[in-house]
Structure formats: C-alpha cells, structure tokens
C-alpha cells in the first residue's frame, strides 16, 4: 500500500449555508471577491470584504449585536429583528445579520430607537411564550431568557399566557416538542430543511396564527424524523428537547436488586466540561468515571471497547464482500459498503433510500453491540441474571434513544440497552448528586470492558470510523505497520470538516492472513495491486449528495467503503451534546478527541487484547461467525426494516 491520494470532491463539498445566503454581486470594475468596503460602526471604522453583513463587520471590531434567529451553522433568515441597527440615511431599522455591506455607511447599534425596538420585539415574544422558567431544561441556558435580561425586560408589558395553547408532543423516543415555548425563529426549520435536508418541520399558517408544524400536524413519531436532534442543538429556547429517561435511571440505581452499568462514548467525554463552564475541548474522561461511581452506578465501561469490536466485525464484513465480488464473482456481494454506526443515518436511508439498504453493513453500532455483550458474556462471567442488569449508554446522540428502543435490538433475549443518556442529561445527574465534575479525582474504567484503543476514541469525530478501519486494514492485509504510511498513524486524508472526503489507498503488497481471519479467506493475493477507494460524509445533506452520485454512476459508485454520519462533525456534533454548538466548538472537541487517541499505548482495534480475548472465550467462531452475527449484526428486509 502506498501513500494515499485524497480529494475533497467539488460535487459534495459545501460552503456553510451562512456563507452563501448573503452572497451579492460586486459592481462592475471592482476586484470581485477581493473588493472591500470601509464602514463606520459606533464610531469605529472597519474594512470588510464586499458583501459581508453588518453583523460580521461588528464582530470584527468586537462590537456586540444581540441575535436570536441567527446561527453560524444556518442560512440567514432575518426574521426575529433582534439584531436591528440604525443605518444613517435609511428610514427603517435594518437587520444586521442579513444586511450586506455594498457601500460605505455609518451604522449605530445601540441608539434609543434601536434599544426600544429590541425591547418591543422581546416583549412581543414573551407575550406568546408560555412556560415556567424554573422547571424548563433550558433555564440559565436559554437565549430568550438571556436577551430579556440584556434588554432590561422586568415585566410582561404585553401580558403573558397563563395556559398552554398546544399539547406537548412526547411521541418520539428521541425528541420532545413543546410549541408553547416556540418563538418562531425558524432555526429548527432551517436546520431540518437546509442543514440536514430532511424536511420534517415547516412554518405554517399566516400572521398571528403562524406556527411550526410537521406534515399534517402529525406527531414526530409518525413522520420522517430521523431523530438526529440537530433541531434541539439550535433551538434557542426549551421548545425542543431530548426525551429524558433520568428518572428511570435514578430509580434503577436506587433499586438494590438491580446491577446498573453504564458505557460512555468518546464524544461526550470531550464535551461534558462545557456543562460546567469550562472551555470546549476540555477532556474529563477519567474525572467522569469517578463522578459516575459517586452517582451510584455499579460499573463504568468504555464504549471504545465495542468500537474496536465494530471495526473487527465491520472490517471483516467488507473483506468478505470484496472476496465474493472480486474472486467468487457473486452478484449478491454489494459494494460500496456503508457504515451503520449512526442511527440517525440508518433512519435516513430507511426513509429516503430504502433501495440502497443492501449497501449497509449488517454490523450494529458500538452501543448496541455493548448491550448484547453485557447481557450475555458479562452476565455469564459474573453469574448475573440478565433480567437484573440495567444497561445505560452515555451517548452524544438523541437518535441513540430511538435505536435502543428498536424492537429488533433484543438479541441477548432481553432489551440489549435499556436507556440512552445524552451528555446534557448526565451532566444534570451530576448536578443533582452534588458532584462538581471538574474537581473529581481521576479513575479508570472497570474491567473487563475498560480496555480500548485510540481507534475507538476517534469514532467520536467525522472520519473516525474510516480512520480506525484503515489502521487495521493496512496491518492485517498488507502486513506492514500503518505508521510506515501515515505519520504517528494519523490518517489525515479522512480527517477534517469538509462535507465529503475521498481517498484512494493503492495496495502494492500483501501479507499473510492473520489467524483470526484464516477461516474466511485463504490469502490476500486477490487484493494485490488493487486500489481501495473510500469516502467520508457527515450530515445527511452531504449523505444525500453521495447517494445521488452513486445512483447516477458517479465517482462514489466506485468506492468500496463509505462512512456516513448523520450529524455535522460526526458524533462530536451530535444532538445530545452541550448547547450551544458552532464550527469552532466542534473543532475544539475534535482536537480533544485526537489528543486522547494519541495518549493511548495501543491505537489499533486489532491489537486490543480484550477483543482477542472475547473471540477466544465467547465469540469462538470468529468475526462474522454464527454467534457474532446473532448478537452483533442485523439484516434487512426488502422494505427497509431491520430483521434479526
């Protein structure tokens, strides 16, 4: 295998929508994209690129303009009017987030007229905003609450609802909608339509009757919601939240007959510090282990263990598909193979591209693999009745709540994972228990599932599953150290936040088949001289572009393996992560994840001693064998539903 060729494909790479929404055409004779304009904002002169917004210009000189409907991930809407400013020579106030600068002007951001307008807007919002702030999950982290304080709101000038107008929609395992708290900023609509291109939510009716609704006002559980929770992460109030099972988890902890174990995914560990006022990207992995024990959990396990297991199972499945396609010429061997770790992505393809489900790996996600292993292998090891084991999963993802409740996820004979907790929910449990997480002493994960590798850690970032797979494929197939090709085993071609990344890995030489795979293929000679083509896509809008390209017979139809993640940035941008989110915050979390990867002594899934042990002791027919397939895999019907 030689050095990788990489390309961020123009067909699927997308500039942030916010950068495209206010694009204007430079006047004839200007320097085009190089043209600049000088403006004066609150007596400060600033030179900005032609077409930049007033809000962007103000940020450049450190001038604060309050916003509500604006979000750095989303297209410009300009609907809330909170960011109104006064432009000299213009009769009406202008929205700073949407007004493009095309000529020199003088702008005032805090005149009496501006302050009064902002105050009136907030007063009108509060007149329609029903809810008790003390019991709201967004209390002290609510943008409407913060704006009311900033703008001096000290009473309800236009009244306040004393009764809810809408029923709360609790139908979804993942997302709860309370439209009584909605302020019509349309962030959720833009997230669902523009960012994710799913289209579950839309503004309906007109004037004072305008509201955010689903198709025919159906409950979320009955529409094409993929449960990704990206709408939650961008909602400024408590109108959208995750379906919280912490009361049931506390009840299990308090029940002396229950053995309560928790697995923790890598992304929450890189972000939970934000819930305690710390900077994004501050890792508290081992402090969190101590805090979890103080809350009363019996065991704390590392989801990275089953991330490594996923690489072995999913990687073996890929090699078997390639063997059938290239050697046996079996037409049923469908490539490219798609990853199946992201339940939001799985739901997306089931809804929108069911004909492409045969491309999906049958491997379960690390969360579900762990649940099945806990209630079989672990129960046998410790002579525990699986009925008395309660499995909890700490995940960055609201869709994981739906995934653990899928009816087919019971291969252990019981519900494999009982409850899914988001990062925000575990942080709240710590606060309820009086635990100051940053001050906790460090402690390790519990055995036998505390042994993991750096490959499991990088699952938390977009490209991480692919990077982990490449690390193992290079060594298992080529018989050389991955460090010979990638400095410090950093597979840089699949890292980054471009919408889609593509790489080619030529296989020049092959090594012997390792013992763990000898029962599946006789040798690797059939791969010698081949070029492994892989791609990575994050966010379902980018997934859609890749899938359409495959349907059209384009470049991605020639790939062998493609990683898809439903959330922008991968798991570190999941719908259960701390609020707020932004490109800068997600980048900081990624930096923490990669730093933790490099701190591991073992950084390749196939070198995890605990993984080799479980195949020797429990999954004795090897990867993709009968037992592992029963517990760790699923398959699909022609109609796109999981079956076991």
Average of per-residue pLDDT across 230-244: 98
Residue 8: pLDDT band (50, 70, 90) is very low
With a threshold of 0.85, does the pTM exceed it?
yes
State the pLDDT at residue 170: 98
Half-sphere exposure of 515 (CA within 13 A, CB side): 5
State the pLDDT at residue 132: 86
State the pLDDT at residue 33: 58
Instruction: Render pLDDT for 160-173 as a digit per residue (tens, 0 to 9).
Output: 999 999 999 999 99
CATH 3.10.20.740 boundaries in the chain? 35-122
Of 573, 461, 545, 498, give the one whose Cα is nearest residue 197.
545
SS3 545: helix
Tokens of 493: 């071609």
Of 208, 233, 209, 232, give the one whose Cα is nearest residue 220.
232
Of 377, 315, 319, 322, give the one whose Cα is nearest residue 340.
315
What topology does CATH give the domain 248-305+392-406+414-439? Rossmann fold (3.40.50)
User: What gap in Å lies between CA 240 and CA 218, rounded to an integer?
Assistant: 16
CATH 3.30.70.20 boundaries in the chain? 128-242
Distances (CA, A) of 332 to 57, 71, 352, 356, 358: 57, 45, 22, 13, 9
Query: Catalytic site residue 557?
Result: no
Query: Catalytic site residue 361?
Result: yes
User: What gap in Å lies between CA 490 and CA 468, rounded to an integer?
Assistant: 10
Distances (CA, A) of 321 to 193, 331, 422, 561, 628: 35, 10, 35, 11, 17
State the pLDDT at residue 1: 53
What topology does CATH give the domain 35-122? Ubiquitin-like (UB roll) (3.10.20)
Query: Catalytic site residue 397?
Result: no
Return the C-alpha torsion angle 136, 142, 145, 150, nearest 10. Answer: 160
Do residues 188 and 155 make contact, with C-beta atoms less than 8 angstroms apart? Answer: no
State the pLDDT at residue 92: 97
Distances (CA, A) of 611 to 267, 279, 456: 21, 34, 12
Active-site annotation holder among 18, 174, 361, 398:
361
- 230-398-266 Cα angle (round to 5): 100
Query: Catalytic site residue 478?
Result: no
Instruction: Render pLDDT for 278-323 as a digit per residue (tens, 0 to 9).
Output: 999 999 999 999 999 999 999 999 999 999 999 999 999 999 999 9
Residue 473 has pLDDT above 70, yes or no: yes
Instruction: Render pLDDT for 35-94 as a digit per residue (tens, 0 to 9).
Output: 999 999 999 999 999 999 999 999 999 999 999 999 999 999 999 999 999 999 999 999
Q: Which residues lie below 8 Å from residue 534, measured CB to CB, with a gap of 6+?
A: 466, 470, 494, 502, 503, 504, 505, 559, 560, 561, 562, 563
Active-site annotation holder among 56, 274, 317, 425:
317
SS3 318: helix
Residues in the chain: 644
Q: Which residues pair with 261 in a beta bridge?
A: 299, 391
CB atoms within 10 A of CB 114: 18
- CA 109 to chain centroid: 36
User: What gap in Å lies between CA 541 and CA 102, rounded to an integer?
Assistant: 31
State the pLDDT at residue 228: 98
Active-site annotation holder among 80, 83, 571, 624:
571
CB atoms within 10 A of CB 135: 8
Active-site annotation holder among 202, 408, 483, 548:
408
Residue 519: pLDDT band (50, 70, 90) is confident
Average of per-residue pLDDT across 615-622: 96
User: What gap in Å lies between CA 312 and CA 568, rounded to an integer?
Assistant: 26
- 133-239-152 Cα angle (round to 5): 45
Tokens of 504: 């080619």
Q: Hunting for tokens 């600068």 — which residue is that?
A: 101
CATH architecture of 128-242: 2-Layer Sandwich (3.30)
Active-site annotation holder among 350, 403, 563, 596:
403
Active-site annotation holder among 299, 375, 400, 415:
400
Query: Catalytic site residue 314?
Result: yes
Of 300, 265, 346, 405, give the one whose Cα is nearest residue 636.
346
Tokens of 46: 């600033």
Instruction: Render pLDDT for 15-33 as a digit per residue (tens, 0 to 9).
Output: 333 333 344 455 554 445 5
Do residues 276 and 288 make contact, with C-beta atoms less than 8 angstroms apart? Answer: no
Q: Which residues pair with 395 in a beta bridge?
A: 422
Active-site annotation holder among 143, 274, 287, 314:
314
Instruction: Render pLDDT for 403-428 as a digit per residue (tens, 0 to 9).
Output: 999 999 999 999 999 999 999 999 99
User: What gap in Å lies between CA 551 and CA 387, rounded to an integer?
Assistant: 45
CATH 3.40.50.1780 boundaries in the chain? 248-305+392-406+414-439
Query: Catalytic site residue 559?
Result: no
Query: Catalytic site residue 88?
Result: no
Query: Catalytic site residue 313?
Result: no
Do residues 539 and 499 make contact, with C-beta atoms less than 8 angstroms apart? Answer: yes
State the pLDDT at residue 321: 95
Burial 498-520 (b: 16+ CB within 10 A, else e): bbbbbbbbebeebeebeebbeee
Say what percent of the chain tops pLDDT 70.
93
User: What gap in Å lies between CA 244 and CA 425, rounded to an integer?
Assistant: 7
């Amino acid at each position: 295998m030689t050095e990788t060729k990489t390309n961020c494909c123009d067909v699927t790479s997308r500039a942030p929508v916010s950068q495209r929404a206010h694009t204007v055409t430079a006047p004839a004779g200007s320097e085009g994209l190089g043209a600049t304009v000088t403006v004066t904002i609150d007596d400060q002169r600033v030179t900005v690129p032609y077409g930049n917004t007033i809000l962007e210009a103000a940020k450049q000189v450190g001038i604060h303009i309050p916003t509500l409907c604006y979000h750095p991930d989303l297209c410009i809407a300009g609907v809330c009017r909170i960011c109104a400013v006064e432009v000299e020579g213009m009769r009406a106030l202008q929205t700073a987030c949407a007004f493009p600068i095309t000529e020199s002007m003088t702008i005032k951001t805090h005149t009496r007229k501006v302050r009064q307008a902002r105050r009136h807007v907030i007063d009108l919002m509060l007149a329609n905003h029903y809810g008790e702030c003390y019991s709201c999950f967004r209390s002290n982290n609510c943008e409407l609450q913060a704006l009311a304080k900033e703008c001096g709101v000290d009473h309800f000038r236009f009244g306040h609802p004393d009764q809810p107008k809408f029923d709360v929609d609790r139908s979804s395992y993942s997302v709860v909608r309370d439209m009584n708290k909605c302020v019509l900023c349309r962030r959720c609509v833009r997230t669902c339509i523009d960012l994710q291109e799913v289209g579950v939510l839309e503004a309906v009716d007109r004037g004072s009757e305008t509201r955010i609704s689903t198709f025919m006002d159906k409950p979320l559980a009955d529409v094409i919601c993929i449960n990704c929770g990206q709408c939650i992460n961008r909602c400024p109030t408590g109108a959208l939240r995750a379906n919280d099972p912490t009361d049931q988890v506390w009840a299990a902890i308090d029940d002396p007959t229950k053995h309560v174990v928790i697995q923790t995914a890598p992304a929450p560990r890189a972000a939970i510090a934000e819930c305690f006022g710390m900077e994004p990207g501050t890792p508290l992995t081992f402090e969190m282990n101590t805090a979890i024990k103080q809350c009363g959990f019996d065991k704390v396990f590392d989801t990275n263990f089953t991330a490594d297991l996923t690489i072995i199972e999913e990687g073996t499945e890929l090699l078997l598909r390639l063997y059938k396609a290239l050697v046996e010429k079996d037409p049923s061997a469908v490539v490219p193979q798609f990853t199946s770790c992201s339940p939001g992505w799985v739901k997306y393809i089931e809804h929108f591209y069911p004909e492409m489900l045969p491309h999906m790996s049958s491997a379960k996600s690390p969360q579900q693999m762990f649940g099945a292993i806990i209630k079989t292998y672990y129960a046998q090891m410790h002579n525990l009745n699986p009925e008395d084991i309660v499995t909890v999963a700490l995940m960055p993802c609201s869709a994981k709540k739906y995934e653990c409740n899928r009816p087919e996820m019971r291969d252990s004979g019981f519900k494999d994972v009982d409850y899914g907790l988001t990062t925000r929910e575990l942080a709240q449990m710590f606060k309820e228990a009086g635990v100051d997480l940053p001050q906790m002493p460090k402690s390790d994960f519990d055995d036998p599932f505390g042994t993991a590798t750096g490959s499991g850690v990088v699952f938390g970032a977009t490209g991480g599953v692919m990077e982990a797979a490449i690390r193992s494929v290079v060594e298992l197939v080529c018989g050389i150290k991955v460090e010979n090709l990638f400095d410090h085993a950093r597979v840089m071609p699949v890292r980054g936040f471009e919408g889609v990344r593509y790489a080619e890995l030529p296989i020049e030489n092959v090594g012997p088949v390792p013992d763990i795979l000898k029962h599946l293929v006789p040798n690797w000679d059939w791969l010698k001289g081949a070029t492994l083509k892989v791609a990575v896509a994050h966010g379902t809008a980018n997934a859609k572009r890749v899938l359409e390209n495959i349907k059209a017979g384009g470049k991605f139809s020639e790939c062998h393996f493609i990683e898809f993640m439903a959330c922008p940035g991968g798991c570190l941008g999941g719908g259960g992560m701390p609020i707020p989110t932004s490109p800068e915050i997600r980048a900081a979390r990624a930096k923490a994840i990669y730093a933790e990867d490099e701190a591991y002594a073992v950084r390749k899934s196939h070198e995890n001693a605990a993984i080799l042990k479980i195949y020797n002791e429990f999954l004795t027919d090897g990867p993709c064998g009968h037992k592992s397939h029963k517990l760790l895999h699923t398959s699909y019907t022609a109609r796109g539903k999981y079956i076991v």
